[in-house]
Amino acid sequence: MPEKKVTSYPKEKINILLLENISKAAAEKFLENGYVSVKRLTGALSESDLIKEIKNVHLLGIRSKSKITPAVLEHAQKLQAIGCFCIGTNQVDLKEATSKGVAVFNAPYSNTRSVAELVIASSIFLIRRIPDKNKSAHSGIWMKESAGSHELRGKTLGIIGYGNIGSQVSVLAEAFGMKVIFYDTETKMPLGNAESKKTMKDVLKQADIVTLHVPDLPSTRNLINKTNIPFFKKGSILINYARGKVVDLDELRKALLNNDLSGAAIDVYPSEPAKNGEHFETPLQGLSNVILTPHIGGSTEEAQQNIGEDVSNKLFNFLEKGITTGSHTVPPLNLPPHENTHRILHIHKNVPGVLSEINTQLSSHKINILGQYLKTNDEIGYVVLDVNKNLSHEALELLKEVNHTIKVRLLY
């Protein structure tokens, strides 16, 4: 029987911290595999509190509220990896994490369906003017009328950002009989009958409903602003379930009050409360035919379970196998096991001569390398070495002394 591989570090001494009410599926993944020190907190932590907590943490799990700053990483001397249990990683200082050899993983696809379904649902509610009628009914006023209410069928949906979510919205929209047009800065293969447009302006002019699915980048800040709002088709609808800073909400408010746009659905905001129950303000509050939701686009039980399983699997595979596929910081490697060896992980600055020094150090001490893998990015290099069992601890100490070493770990 092949020898079962386990981490050389005692599992009971590996500390795992999960913040922001991460799905129980994540914690259970580690508990089922013998990791008993799993701490799960319901909220985010401030920078100062996180600095206190992270001193002895090996794996950290967060969602979108926790900010992993250089100061936090400076105090995270034992940290091996960060799992972002959400789509993005902008809450982590990736440059600093890279320089310290901390692997950062996320779940870019796990809540795609949840967001896409909510976009379609909001489209139906807005084009039927349900928010107005709901408010009236709650106020005891009967408003049974068809004026201003329409079907989705036959309307044009404009998608800005044709990535994982945008393309999924495209498929659902066509099932409702909509025409789909989209704009993306990169060339994307259209799904179904969707049509790519050369400019965002072309989409805004033609679409009855515009939905945004772009990342938070300097180039997307205030993407929808005073300059391009006039290009929207008169009476159209805007949906933003992407990032809070891509829409100028003050200008959107003006457009809604002027009836240039007939409705909007907003789920993300430039500034959001850190936890439930805190006070929240936006310029769009109190406006007719506007749906405001508290960043719940991907907040379904199915999505959270999928995210929990996806990210915890990536963390588990990195911890036990050295696999870095999906990491935003450490170069990606997916390694086949070598029987009857010990495996060492070495992360170093990407400068010439490191691999040569590693090989020279080991060969001069007659340590045979039975398997070796190297992958680099602009900042760091990641080497995985399989060496003779009897000499692995000696090899580990030698590799710690290699110039430009950031982290070195005996995996098994």
Q: Catalytic residue numbers? A: 243, 272, 295
Residue type, 124: I
Whole-number Å distance between alpha carbons of 270 and 240 = 12
Length of the chain: 412
Q: How many CB atoms lie within 10 A of CB 52?
A: 10
**CA atoms lying within 13 Å on the CB side of residue 24:** 1
293 close to 267: Cβ distance less than 8 angstroms: yes
Assigned token pair, 85? 């249990």
